[in-house]
A and B are shown apart, each in its own frame.
Chain A
Amino acid sequence: MADKVEFELVSPEKLLVSQPVHMVVVPGAEGFLGVLPGHAPMIVTVKPGIIDIYANDMGTITQRIFVAGGFCEITGARVTILAEEASDLEAVRGLDRAALEKQLADLSEDLADAKSEGERHTLEGKVAIVQAKLDAQVGTMH
């Protein structure tokens, strides 16, 4: 068994990260999962949150990336995340908190007014993304 797993983070616009890592922690729809080499093949939906990359060993996080949801395909040797939107955690931390809060309030209002099921679904998604950005700023995610 290889001691590294090939990690790829892809957005529709480009290939963001491609490197062998020791472990990645992915915010799955039903909870975080840490992926080590030799993980059982899985396909998981990713919810908005932070991906932690442990490039060398278990102890240190080498990179933290914010994703606004997506999909994750895991095979024994490879982890591929298809993200809709991804940015370095620092960039998210740098966002204006007041603006985000305002955005959240607006979206929640829209959500309350939403009529159709489909509309509600998309708005819920947007709310979750903004909420996750807020959470990421405080750093309460783990």
Chain B
Amino acid sequence: MPSLKDIRNRIASVKSTQKITSAMKMVAASKLRRAQEQAEAGRPYAERMGRMLASLAANVAGGPGGPRLMTGTGSDQTHLLVVMTGDRGLCGGFNSSVVRETRRAILRLQAEGKTVKLLTVGRKGRDLLRREFPSLIVASFEEVGKKRLSFADADRVTAKILELFDAGQFDVATIVYNKFKSAMTQIVTLQQVVPFAAAPEAASDTATEASAVYEFEPSEEAILADLLPRNLAIQVYSALLESAASFFGAQMTAMDNATRNAGEMIKKYTLIYNRTRQASITKELIEIISGAEAL
């Protein structure tokens, strides 16, 4: 039986934990809003880029002479998985669900006899994956967009991916990240980015609009060669944005639950505390009365 003092201390500590979690929830909520706004703001660029690419791709039509970012290297032996997680924990299943999905993808690809390499963005993913696949990680980034995610951050990651690609380090690249659905739900998504595949809806969208034949200046090939790396950067950027929004969403939900649990715990402990207090008073009364009767 814990003493009254023990219970009192316990209540105090749960209360202060609750204060922390509810503050974290508040912070996550405001950061979530900002991340959502940013994702919103980035959408027009990505949309128009997709439209432009689709009409270019239609013109160049993936012949063998096309740029390698689009046509691929001709094999799919080596896969690069770009894993996007957060730098911190306390966000429910956010990091572990990405890692779980990654692990499944790695095992599947390895079972097919493919080579897998990993590029991790975010400290948690690196730490978790390093334990299991220490030799697969070729590069990792940390604290990406710690203050505010900017396009330059995405550019840095992209530069690394392109460098690896140019060095012939991989054939197919896939981004694994949490797609933001709502603050409650995030969907782990695998998105292939190299070789580039035009999104089906973008393609059908432009089929009607781009029936007008474009002129190109300079040549289609030159523009495409410039555009494809930009497009990769955009895809990395929007995945990072989604991931950031998901992170704050997951954190907000997790902290909301934690705050509620702490509340329940406080209630439970208060009940025990009062009961114990009454029990000890009753005990003392009995002692006094039986003492008086004995006289």
Which residues from chain A sit less than 8 Å from chain B, CB to CB? 8, 10-15, 28-30, 40-45, 71, 73, 75-76, 80, 82, 84, 118
Contact = CB atoms under 8 A, between A and B. Distances in A.
B48 A10 contact: yes
B216 A13 contact: no
Interface string B131-170: 0000000000000000000110010000000110010000
B293 interface: no
A12 B42 contact: yes
Interface stretch (B6-14, B71-79, B226-234): B226-234
B203 interface: no
Given A10-B44, A82-B48, A84-B230, 17 more contacts: A10-B45, A11-B151, A12-B154, A12-B234, A13-B150, A14-B42, A15-B45, A28-B217, A41-B212, A43-B56, A43-B214, A44-B217, A71-B49, A73-B48, A73-B52, A82-B49, A118-B166
Contact of B214 (A10, A42, A45, A80): A42
A75 B212 CA distance: 8
B295 interface: no
Contacts, number: 81
Nearest to A15: B44
Contacts of A71: 49, 52, 223, 226-227, 230
The 3 closest A-B pairs by CB, nearest first: A14-B41, A12-B151, A41-B212
A41 B215 contact: yes
Interface of B: 38, 41-42, 44-46, 48-49, 51-52, 55-56, 150-151, 154, 162-163, 166, 212-218, 222-223, 226-227, 230, 233-234, 237
A44 B150 CA distance: 26
B55 A43 contact: yes
A43 B41 CA distance: 23
A33 B114 CA distance: 49
Contact of B45 (A11, A28, A40): A11
Nearest to B55: A43
B48 A80 contact: yes
Nearest to B148: A13
Nearest to A70: B230
A20 B6 CA distance: 72
Contacts of B51: 73
Contact of B52 (A11, A29, A82): A82
26 contacts: A10-B45, A11-B151, A12-B42, A13-B42, A13-B45, A13-B151, A28-B217, A30-B217, A41-B212, A42-B214, A42-B215, A42-B217, A43-B215, A43-B217, A45-B218, A45-B222, A71-B223, A71-B226, A71-B227, A73-B52, A80-B52, A82-B45, A82-B48, A82-B49, A84-B230, A118-B166
Contacts of A82: 45, 48-49, 52, 230
A12 B241 CA distance: 11
Contacts of B163: 118
B177 to A, nearest CB: 17
Contact of A41 (B41, B56, B214): B214
Contacts of A118: 162-163, 166
B188 to A, nearest CB: 24
Q: Which of B41, B44, B150, B222 has the most CB of A within 10 A?
A: B44
